[in-house]
Amino acid sequence: MKRMLAVAAIGLVTLTGCGGGSKSTPSNALPSSTTSAAPSDSASSGPSSLAGLTSSECVEVAAQFSKASSVFSTADASTPYSDRFAAIAAALDAAADKIHKPDVAKAMKTLARIYGEVGDGLKGVNYKPGSGGTPPAGYLAAIRHFADPEFRTAGQTMSAYFQGGCH
């Protein structure tokens, strides 16, 4: 189950790359690991890896994705996992509002909804992945949302959007 949580977090970071029209990995994709620096809400002062992007929509969406992907690395150790997932959901929802293509915006809203459902499911669950022991039933039920086929489909839509230069 810890693996499912890690896959979801890695998926979020992987989806953050965007660039030109090439179907290969863009040269200006965001790094595949998060940093401890809090991302900026402003595209002009955002992470340097966003500087070469030409689409303002792509820059704005990638900045929100960067914000979402940094939640675990920037959160205080005492921040409950439910709050962390709620913060990811809020950043993804904000990113969806920046997307002009309805099908892509809907995919981003789906990701936000599922991250929110995970956060809601983790409320009151006192378990930290990697702490040892068997995860409680509430934890397992919450992270099962990542197995939702809608999550995979939305992730694929977002990957194609970013790989296509946000078009």
Between 43 and 57, where is the model more confident? 57
pLDDT tens figures, 7-20: 454 455 444 444 33
Round the average pLDDT of the chain to a whole number and report it: 73
pLDDT, tens digit, for every residue of 128-164? Answer: 888 888 999 999 999 999 999 999 999 999 989 888 8
The pTM of the full predicted model, rounded to 2 decimals, is: 0.68
CA distances from 51 to 23, 39, 41, 58, 79 (A): 20, 13, 14, 11, 31
| pLDDT tens digits along 81-118 | 999 999 999 999 998 998 889 999 999 999 999 999 99
